Amino acid sequence: MPNSDRLRSVGVVLFDRFELLDVFGPLELLGVVADRFALRLIGPTAGPVRSAQGPDVLAADSHGDAPAADIVLVPGGIGTRGLVENGEFLAWLAGWAGTAEFVTSVCTGSGVLAAAGLLDGYRATSNKRAFSWAQS
């Protein structure tokens, strides 16, 4: 892999009612090799973002102030249902994530990527119970 020794920035997109496991499962894995990844949580505003399970998580940056990321992660959660109708958010995500080396999602986050046009021309999947929704 070219530039494998380079520190890669990972931007995790938070939104109201995101799924905790979809964020912290991948972050725990990346934390094992913390010398290779710089992790940033990006929220609608810098500060607390409410998860689907209730606890707030602290976003370091707002969507509007988010630094460019090499890797983008969009989690799933019940909050994705509203995001796919939010044109302002989708335009921001398409522009911000469009420059990333890797754009990834967990579960219904794929529906958000699809709505932003970031999956055009790519194969993707989602939670089997939400596949039809994400595909639409």
CA triplet 131, 68, 104: central angle to 5 degrees? 20
* Per annotation, catalytic residue among 74, 107, 116, 118: 107
In this structure, what are the phi and psi dihedrals at residue 46, rounded to the nearest 5 degrees?
Answer: -70, 135
Tokens of 96: 């911000």
39 Rama sector, left if φ>0, alpha if ψ -120 to 50, beta otherwise: beta
Residue 107 known to be catalytic:
yes
Query: Which sequence positions are flagged as catalytic?
Result: 107
